[in-house]
Amino acid sequence: MTTAAPARARFAPRFSLRLLLIAFTAFAIGFPVWYRWPYQESQPAKLKGSVVTTWQRQWGGGRLKHGPESTYENGKLILRTTYRNGILHGPYEAWQRNGFREVGQYVEGKKSGQWRLLDPKGRLHRSAEWRDDRLDGLCLIVGAKGKQRELLFAQGRLIAADGQKVEDRLGDLAASGAIDDPLMADALTELTDIEFVETPLKDAVQFLAEKHEIPILIDPWHTDPLEPLTSQLQGMQLSWAIQILMAPIDHACDYRYGCLWITSAEDVKNWKDPTGVADINPPKGSPLARAWNEPIAVSPINQPLGEVIEQGLIARLDIAVDVSQIRPHNETDPHYPVTGRFDGFPFRHGLGFFLYKAHCRCELRGETLVILPPESP
């Protein structure tokens, strides 16, 4: 008698609503967390460097910076920033090539709170208070020999230096967009070091112009080029340094004819362009409108203004200019001689500069630019 083998149990999967709900819940919670979880990505950068960025995926596609971002150059960390939803928000730290380190923080894309600049040994070089991306409060600058300078700002404007009131003309011009040369605007934010001891004004200005490679001129009618200057400023923004340097001699710095313009504080206060150039608005599409911003290159030396305009300023420009009223007809007539160098500046700036030096002016009659002699001797 043979006995039958016992039947092998078979596994039959059973549908479980509870298990389904658990799986669905895990997916509903886990997938969004995984999808939105920040992740890092490294990209090559200049000078054998790289940028490691933290990204966050966005619903509907795309991604935004969200978290720390580190920039390396030749294997060294040179910049560490923090983002939130694609906007700078959080700690900021940058290492400069001279060994200085800047630390601060951003709030919703704007500088905020205390920012510090530390020297290679970790000593404080500059401390400044920021609010809504503008200097607002005390800025302390420590020189190489430990000498401290205190600058006071209000909503981005320099209002006092070491307890003395300062007129921040350059700051106002930069904020209003009146400084139309981007290279000039950038140069004004550069740091500078100066040390003058009884240095004539003309020599101090020449030093700054050559150091920062920008045109800085002395007003020929409202300054004494031999006025002595004594000051020591280190690690200070150029625009602040110039204004602090000029304050003790009752001078100030303006922006005229494409140049930084050193003149008396009173002249800056009451300035209105006497040449008439600022009042000219060339008709759209006219030859003058096309020539208004064309670069020029002239270097006259004691040359009559009429010749400078005809042979230098408009030699290559197809515009109508009438210089008959300033052209000398005999030896006794004024020649309005001018000296200066304007190379690479727009025509309008060169015209204004030479008219100012000659005390002459201009006006637009139809499409002809008429050059006029001084209104009074």
Verify that 178 and 262 share a domain, yes or no: yes
Find the angle CA(180)-CA(181)-CA(182) to the nearest 5 degrees. Answer: 110
pLDDT given for residue 85 in this prediction: 93
Pairing of strands 164-165, 157-161: antiparallel
For residues 192 and 202, give the distance between their C-alpha atoms in angstroms, rounded to a whole number. 18
**Is 284 domain-assigned?**
yes
Cβ atoms of 370 and 288 closer than 8 Å = no
**Is 281 domain-assigned?**
yes
Verify that 181 and 220 share a domain, yes or no: yes
Verify that 235 and 322 share a domain, yes or no: no
Domain closes at, from 239, 271, 303: 271
Pairing of strands 148-154, 63-73: unpaired
**Is 67 domain-assigned?**
no
Domain closes at, from 271, 288, 314: 271
pLDDT given for residue 215 in this prediction: 93
Verify that 334 and 367 share a domain, yes or no: yes
pLDDT given for residue 69 in this prediction: 97
Cβ atoms of 298 and 347 closer than 8 Å = no
Question: How many domains is the chain built from?
Answer: 2
DSSP string, 135-185: EEEEEEEE-TTS-EEEEEEETTEEEEETTEE---HHHHHHHHT----HHHH
Verify that 291 and 346 share a domain, yes or no: yes
What burial class does residue 372 get, using C-beta atoms within 10 Å of its C-beta: 0-12 exposed, 13-18 middle, 19+ buried?
middle
Residues in the chain with pLDDT values less than 50:
none
pTM comes to 0.68
Residue 296: closest CA among 330, 341, 238 = 341
Look up the CATH number of the domain holding residue 309: 3.55.50.30
Handedness of CA 16, 21, 27, 29 (dihedral sign): negative
For residues 362 and 279, give the distance between their C-alpha atoms in angstroms, rounded to a whole number. 10
Domain closes at, from 224, 249, 271: 271
Verify that 174 and 241 share a domain, yes or no: yes
Cβ atoms of 373 and 317 closer than 8 Å = no
**Which residue range is the domain that position 203 belongs to?**
167-271
Integer CA distances (angstroms), 109 to 87, 90, 91, in order: 5, 9, 11
Model confidence pLDDT, tens digit, residues 119-169? 899 999 889 999 998 889 999 988 766 778 888 988 888 888 888 888 788
Cβ atoms of 253 and 174 closer than 8 Å = no
Verify that 258 and 329 share a domain, yes or no: no
For residues 321 and 222, give the distance between their C-alpha atoms in angstroms, rounded to a whole number. 29
**Is 36 domain-assigned?**
no
DSSP string, 214-254: --EEE-TTT--TT-EEEEEEEEEEHHHHHHHHHGGGTEEEE
pLDDT given for residue 194 in this prediction: 87
Q: In residues, how long is the chain?
A: 377
pLDDT given for residue 148 in this prediction: 84
CA torsion 197→203→209→211, rounded to 10°?
A: -50
Q: What residues are paired with 55 via a beta bridge?
A: 39, 65
Verify that 178 and 257 share a domain, yes or no: yes
Cβ atoms of 224 and 252 closer than 8 Å = no
**Is 101 domain-assigned?**
no
Verify that 296 and 264 share a domain, yes or no: no
Verify that 312 and 331 share a domain, yes or no: yes
**Is 99 domain-assigned?**
no
Cβ count near 2 (within 10 Å): 4
Verify that 255 and 237 share a domain, yes or no: yes
Element (H, E) at 126: strand 124-131
